[in-house]
Amino acid sequence: MIKSSMNVGTWWPLLLLAASFVILGIAWIRQRGALFPDINLLKHTAQAGGIADRLPLQLGVLIIVLLSLSLMDISATRPVELDRRARDFLVVVDTSRSMREDTALLREQYPPTFERRADLYVGQAENPASIPNLGRYEVARESLLQFLKHRRKVDRVGLIYFNSMVYLMSGFTSNMDFIEEQLEGMDSYVTFGTNMRWALEQALNLVERYPGRNRRAIILLTDAEARNTEYLQQQLDRLRRLDIAFYLLWITPNTEDGRSPLATEFLRAVRSFGSVFTIDDVREGYLDAALEEISELEDYAYREASYENVNLSQIIFNVAKWLLLVWIVMLGTLWLPLFRLTLADAATSRE
């Protein structure tokens, strides 16, 4: 259970104040008449039980006490619980050559947000827009664009591409326009190779390099059958130890009966600590549905406990400053003239 606590940086101002009061007390008791000759006169002239007339004196003592306390560097640590909904999503996208394979979705019926670009694997003379079917990576990109639209301003998204290499496209950011720009240029990164182990390693390094209080989730989107090697298992074990939600979106034309032993073992390992969505047919919108379900799973409020440090010395000093202003106004406007008039009346009555 989180408890409040108070810290004092130094005690010498309090000790000095206490010593001053002790010395004044001794002087008051032993030599009151010699050191304070006007005390009896003050008693005789006091009105309203002595409280109103002596208010400047009492206020002055209070100001001295507060100023002494402000020098003690007093602070308090109190627990604070916040309702949070913000999330950090790190999207790791497979951009291997197989992601260029055609799907059954026709470009005429489902026009993509971004036109397919000509590059190394689509000749410069060839018009990519003339390819009738959408590629896997294009369908994945459209689903990710839709996913970004539902991210709140407080959410952050990071983006990584991987094939035989790993490309950090963006760290965690709430600038979704920048993420969309990186998705627009995905075409040039769809090349040979599928180094999933390295991609997960770089993803975890990124999560640890970007500290934050938001809840975190890694989304791995791939169409590859990963071999559950020792190096890949190390990254999966590392994921298991961290407080990170993990979602695997596996685009595959295979049914569960036709799944290879490599894929079965990999999926079994992932399911032991994360969630797996098998996308058998992109035509039915299964990829969109999977990302929507992830949004719903991660869209819940959670309470986060933390500590807040309060500088009490500064607060005490501010109070003392305002009381000092009040004390000066009192002496200059009301109490001092009244006190002088009362003394004059007392002296006249004695004569």
**Same domain, yes or no, for 187 and 228?**
yes
Q: What is the mean pLDDT of residues 330-349?
A: 56
CATH number, domain of 286, equals 3.40.50.410
pLDDT for 186-212, tens place per residue? 998 998 888 888 999 999 999 988 777
Cα separation, 217 vs 298, in Å, equals 8
Cα separation, 218 vs 225, in Å, equals 19
The per-residue pLDDT for 119 is 60
pLDDT for 240-276, tens place per residue? 888 789 999 988 755 455 567 777 778 888 888 899 9
| Residue that wins the pLDDT comparison between 101 and 348 | 101
Cα separation, 25 vs 29, in Å, equals 6
Q: What is the mean pLDDT of residues 58-73?
A: 83
What's the whole-model pTM score?
A: 0.62
pLDDT for 263-314, tens place per residue? 777 888 888 889 999 888 777 677 888 999 998 888 766 555 666 778 888 8
**Same domain, yes or no, for 29 and 169?**
no
DSSP result, 24-62: HHHHHHHSHHHH-TTHHHHHHH--GGGTTTTHHHHHHHH
**Same domain, yes or no, for 179 and 38?**
no
How large a percentage of the chain has pLDDT more than 90? Answer: 23
The per-residue pLDDT for 1 is 47
Quick one: pLDDT band at residue 104, thresholds 50, 70, 90? Answer: confident
CB 103 within 8 A of CB 283: yes
Quick one: pLDDT band at residue 185, thresholds 50, 70, 90? Answer: very high
Closest by CA position to 135, among listed 148, 150, 122: 122
**Same domain, yes or no, for 123 and 234?**
yes
Q: Whole domain around residue 346: which residue ranges? A: 5-78+309-350
The per-residue pLDDT for 253 is 59
Q: What is the mean pLDDT of residues 103-128?
A: 76
**Same domain, yes or no, for 103 and 251?**
yes
**Same domain, yes or no, for 90 and 225?**
yes
**pLDDT above 80: residue 322:** yes
**pLDDT above 80: residue 168:** yes
Of the ranges 116-120, 179-183, 193-197, 274-278, the best mean pLDDT one: 179-183
**pLDDT above 80: residue 63:** yes
Cα separation, 246 vs 252, in Å, equals 19
Of the ranges 47-56, 110-119, 176-185, 212-221, the best mean pLDDT one: 176-185
Q: What is the mean pLDDT of residues 40-67?
A: 66
**pLDDT above 50: residue 125:** no
Quick one: pLDDT band at residue 162, thresholds 50, 70, 90? Answer: very high
**Same domain, yes or no, for 99 and 44?**
no
The per-residue pLDDT for 157 is 95
| Residue that wins the pLDDT comparison between 336 and 10 | 10
Q: What one-letter code names the amino acid at 153?
A: K
CB 311 within 8 A of CB 8: no
Sheet strands (E) in the chain: 5-8, 74-84, 87-94, 102-106, 133-135, 156-162, 166-173, 215-222, 245-251, 275-279, 302-311
Quick one: pLDDT band at residue 166, thresholds 50, 70, 90? Answer: very high
**Same domain, yes or no, for 24 and 100?**
no
**Same domain, yes or no, for 43 and 103?**
no
Cα separation, 302 vs 77, in Å, equals 22
**Same domain, yes or no, for 250 and 336?**
no
**pLDDT above 50: residue 93:** yes
Cα separation, 290 vs 218, in Å, equals 14
Domain count, the chain: 2
**Same domain, yes or no, for 127 and 212?**
yes
The per-residue pLDDT for 40 is 55
**Same domain, yes or no, for 44 and 130?**
no
| Residue that wins the pLDDT comparison between 293 and 86 | 293
CB 233 within 8 A of CB 269: yes
